Amino acid sequence: MSIAPSNFYDFNYDSLNQYILDRFSIDQKKGGMRTNQLWKFVYKKGLHNIAQFSNLPSDLKTNLENNLSFKRVEISEKKISSDGTIKWLIKLADNNLVETVFIPSDNRGTLCISSQVGCTLNCKFCHTGTQMMVRNLSTSEIINQILIAKDELKDWGSQKKITNIVYMGMGEPFYNYDNVKQSVAILRNNHGLDYSAKKITVSTAGVVPEIMNAAKEIQTYLALSLHAPNDELRERIMPINKKYKIKDLIESCAYYAKVNKEKIFLEYVLLKNINDSLDCAKQLIKLMSKFPCKLNLIEFNAWPGVSYEPSSPDVIKQFYQAIKKSGHIVTLRKSRGEDILGACGQLKTESEKKRKSL
Ligand code: SF4
């Protein structure tokens, strides 16, 4: 029985180096050079056809052919919003579907990637959360989302069109901790994609033990999906709060901020008559003074069947002003890509619909 080739995109730089030394009997002295060449072909030039890997000895090419897969995952569907947002529905080898969204703006291009097929956390306002959790993505499936987006955007030149990467698509990244950690290491490696830690944001609904681990092991920006200023309300809209309380979240985020010397992004989606009162704003201000953080207020995108509604523009303005007056940093995030359901909390409909018709 032949052994299935390993996937190139599952390796980080050091493990690839070790792999080719162990498997391809490469001279120890040349191992680093070969790893460097391979890494550059794949992550600097975007090549995935071994025939295009120039200056490699033919026996190494044969070994690569027989042992490693460089295959990309497939794009099942692509939609472009009137505001320039692009959403790709990506078909994995087992036919599961995940979504990747590119959000261009004046001075940056942000790619929002998924870490799981579906999500177990069932946040009540989130469309993805109503989709059954299927499985974690492998490192190569996470990395493939970036490679495919770069192929599509012709982003292999020195000027990066994808300037920022956010793990805010489908799934809870810290429930797929090892693969998220490995993928961040690949993104950050300066022989290849070379994204600095400050160009990557990992978002979590609040998995306290992994926030503590990630402070030293992942070290990107951290975004906490807070969405409520007290336990009672948060438990109602985010069941994960039954396990990890706000007090513990604050402690772990304070630790993360201290280790990384950066503020934590707090995500707060405004839901009409649920978490948008001035009293909630006051409670939020108190929480914000306990650790270095800044707040992203998000307009809610309603989806079919949801019982929540977006807050009115006046209420949003009042909430925003209350936080701003308190001296904390606050931004209001406009919804992008609404017309293609690529906006926050909407990453479900299309993949589910598509699955049904497969
Ligand atoms: S908001 Fe995030 S963590 Fe919560 S259900 Fe949606 S995808 Fe999962």
Residues 88 and 127 in one domain: yes
Residues 63 and 79 in one domain: no
Q: What is the pLDDT of residue 125?
A: 87
Q: Specify if 151 maps to a domain.
A: yes
Maximum distance among all alpha carbons in the chain?
A: 69
Q: Specify if 62 maps to a domain.
A: yes
Residues 136 and 32 in one domain: no
Residues 90 and 31 in one domain: no
Q: What average pLDDT score do residues 135-151 get?
A: 97
Q: Specify if 210 maps to a domain.
A: yes
Atom of ligand 1 at shortest distance to CA of 225?
Answer: 1
Q: What average pLDDT score do residues 164-182 get?
A: 95
Q: What is the pLDDT of residue 85?
A: 93
Residues 98 and 220 in one domain: yes
Q: What is the pLDDT of residue 347?
A: 56
Q: Specify if 108 maps to a domain.
A: yes
Residues 163 and 279 in one domain: yes
Question: Rounded distance, CA 115 to CA 102, Å?
Answer: 16
Q: Ligand 1 mean position to 166 CA, how many Å?
A: 14
Q: Ligand 1 mean position to 241 CA, how many Å?
A: 12
The dihedral over CA atoms of 87, 78, 76, 7, expressed in degrees to the nearest 10, equals -60
Give the residues across from 111 on adjacent strands: 102, 165
Q: Specify if 1 maps to a domain.
A: no
Q: What is the pLDDT of residue 358?
A: 39
Give the residues across from 203 on adjacent strands: 223
CATH, residue 34: 1.10.150
Residues 163 and 59 in one domain: no
Residues 57 and 19 in one domain: yes
CA distances from 92 to 10, 140, 148, 179 (A): 15, 11, 12, 16
The band of 304, judged by pLDDT with boundaries at 50, 70 and 90, is confident
Residues 55 and 108 in one domain: no
Q: Specify if 125 maps to a domain.
A: yes
Listed residues 69, 89, 119: the one ending a domain: 69
Q: Indicate the pTM of the whole model.
A: 0.92
What's the mean per-residue pLDDT of the chain? 91
Listed residues 46, 69, 92: the one ending a domain: 69
Going by DSSP bridges, is the β-strand pair 97-104/330-333 parallel, antiparallel, or unpaired? unpaired
Atom of ligand 1 at shortest distance to CA of 169?
Answer: 7
Question: To which residue do tokens 């022989």 refer?
Answer: 191
Give the range of the structural domain holding residue 133, as residue numbers without chain letter.
Answer: 74-356
Q: What average pLDDT score do residues 68-94 get?
A: 94
Atom of ligand 1 at shortest distance to CA of 119?
Answer: 8
DSSP state of 72: P
Residues 139 and 91 in one domain: yes
What's the number of domains the chain is made of?
2
The more confident residue out of 186 and 303 is: 186
Q: What average pLDDT score do residues 248-267 get?
A: 97
CA distances from 116 to 136, 233, 349 (A): 4, 26, 16
Q: What is the pLDDT of residue 343?
A: 45
Residues 24 and 119 in one domain: no
Q: What average pLDDT score do residues 282-291 get?
A: 98
If one residue of 101, 112, 122, 128 were mutated to test the ligand 1 pocket, choosing by the most ligand atoms within 8 A of its CB, it would be 128
The band of 3, judged by pLDDT with boundaries at 50, 70 and 90, is low
Contact predicate 27/12, CB 8 Å: no
Contact predicate 149/204, CB 8 Å: no
Q: Ligand 1 mean position to 124 CA, how many Å?
A: 9
* Residue minimizing CA distance to atom 4 of ligand 1: 123
CATH, residue 264: 3.20.20.70
Atom of ligand 1 at shortest distance to CA of 127?
Answer: 6
Q: What is the pLDDT of residue 336?
A: 62
Q: Specify if 214 maps to a domain.
A: yes
Separation of first and last alpha carbons in the chain: 31
Q: Specify if 120 maps to a domain.
A: yes
Q: Give the whole-number percent of the chain exceeding pLDDT 70.
A: 91
- Residues labelled as active-site residues: 99, 344
Q: What angle do CA 320, 227, 348 make, to 5 degrees?
A: 115
Q: What is the pLDDT of residue 348?
A: 55
How many CB atoms lie under 10 A from the CB of residue 136?
Answer: 20
Q: Ligand 1 mean position to 119 CA, how many Å?
A: 6
Question: To which residue do tokens 């049904």 refer?
Answer: 356
Q: What is the pLDDT of residue 237?
A: 94
Q: What is the pLDDT of residue 353?
A: 47
Q: Ligand 1 mean position to 248 CA, how many Å?
A: 19
Q: What average pLDDT score do residues 61-82 get?
A: 94
Using CB distances shorter than 6 Å, the residues near ligand 1 are: 119, 121-123, 126, 128-129, 170-172, 205, 225
Question: Rounded distance, CA 103 to CA 85, Å?
Answer: 5
Residues 51 and 185 in one domain: no
Judged against a pLDDT cut of 70, whether residue 281 lies above it is answered with yes
